[in-house]
A = this chain, B = another copy of it.
């Protein structure tokens, strides 16, 4: 098998829960050797049980597992062994926590001057919120996701996706690889960081323009209509067995949609030939579409419209998502028999390299499976002393 892009790159992974583990999952899927380091009781996500165990398995495939107590002398020796020939240390503690455990920049550079340190936190290492704890819903609140989600006549609501976590993690993945490329080109090992707040901000693009120009009483929630009211048709329409999203960003989309749905009078209505004309008659356009779509199934609409060149997607329940024929056919989603959890649908990395196979899939492993990696440490250097004499964490 051809070598993957990150083959031979050794990553020490101190991350927890979703955001950081997703970054190191992408590193592993690109060929890196990722060693996940967890506390003796396992990280928070590993301790989840039942259905809630799925995310740990999803995000921690293809990683070795080591457990140690970062605050103990023995754990410190283990960490030093791991770091001595590592390329990257990835963490998503709050700023200052890692240094408090004895791993400040100077100590890390002494252990391994080629080590790249990569950090993700809610707010980054500077600024007024730096010390605040951040979880996905906190970032959704601060950055405007909640304010812009929901129907105009109902309260604001969070997105049912952990977008701030995964956007943070994906930026962290890109940051690590960029730092590796920089080291490859210059020999310099530079620390990199990103934050969930800054990583989520660009997703608000559609709403930011109008917000900046409108008054304090502007409508922030538009249900399933376009956030700035500038596209029509754009809605989630009824089907006989659920709902479908349909969006026409061009006049050509509209002509195709109207004709595929048999709305010939509307298709030939000159007043609806332009986006401005359709927006002015949005209620009429949406009602006419709904009258037809409500008589057809989601899959019939998807086949008809998507094949006909109209952007359309059925609103799938998660039981359908994990059986989605496209995700399965492309190998983005695979069925495994997990040694700890049994039958499970899991994802592969979303990035494909032409001519390179994905690495073999190794399910997440029990805590400490690879603790033998810690045993290889050299005799402690008496002059240096254990790193953790002054641990404060």
**A contact residues vs B (CB 8 Å cutoff):** 3, 5-6, 18, 22, 26, 30, 44, 48, 50-55, 58-59, 123-124, 126-129, 131-135, 137-151, 154-163, 165-167, 169-171, 173-175, 177-182, 184-186, 190-195, 197-214, 216, 220-224, 227-228, 230, 234, 236, 243-245, 247, 249, 306-307, 309-322, 324-327, 329-330, 332-333, 344-345, 347, 350-356
Query: Are B329 and A127 within 8 A (Cβ)?
Result: yes
Among candidates B5, B213, B216, residue contacting A181 with C-beta atoms closer than 8 Å: B5
Chain B contacts for A44, CB-based, 8 A:
249
Cα A129 to Cα B311 in complex, Å, equals: 11
Taking the full assembly, how many copies of this chain does it contain? Answer: 2
Query: Are A203 and B166 within 8 A (Cβ)?
Result: yes
Closest beta carbon of chain B to A186's beta carbon, Å: 7
Query: Are A150 and B148 within 8 A (Cβ)?
Result: no
Chain B contacts for A347, CB-based, 8 A:
198, 201-202
Query: Are A350 and B312 within 8 A (Cβ)?
Result: no
Among candidates B134, B185, B249, B350, residue contacting A201 with C-beta atoms closer than 8 Å: B350
Chain B contacts for A30, CB-based, 8 A:
178
* Chain B, Cβ-Cβ closest to A139: B313
Chain B contacts for A135, CB-based, 8 A:
247, 249, 311
Cα A214 to Cα B319 in complex, Å, equals: 8
Chain B contacts for A52, CB-based, 8 A:
209-210, 228, 230
Among candidates B5, B194, B311, residue contacting A178 with C-beta atoms closer than 8 Å: B5
Closest beta carbon of chain B to A113's beta carbon, Å: 14
Query: Are A324 and B142 within 8 A (Cβ)?
Result: yes
Among candidates B128, B158, B352, residue contacting A236 with C-beta atoms closer than 8 Å: B158
Cα A306 to Cα B130 in complex, Å, equals: 10
Query: Are A332 and B224 within 8 A (Cβ)?
Result: no
Query: Are B202 and A59 within 8 A (Cβ)?
Result: yes
A-B contact pairs, 9 of them (CB 8 A): A6-B178, A6-B181, A141-B245, A148-B318, A155-B236, A159-B161, A161-B163, A190-B353, A208-B322
Closest beta carbon of chain B to A119's beta carbon, Å: 9
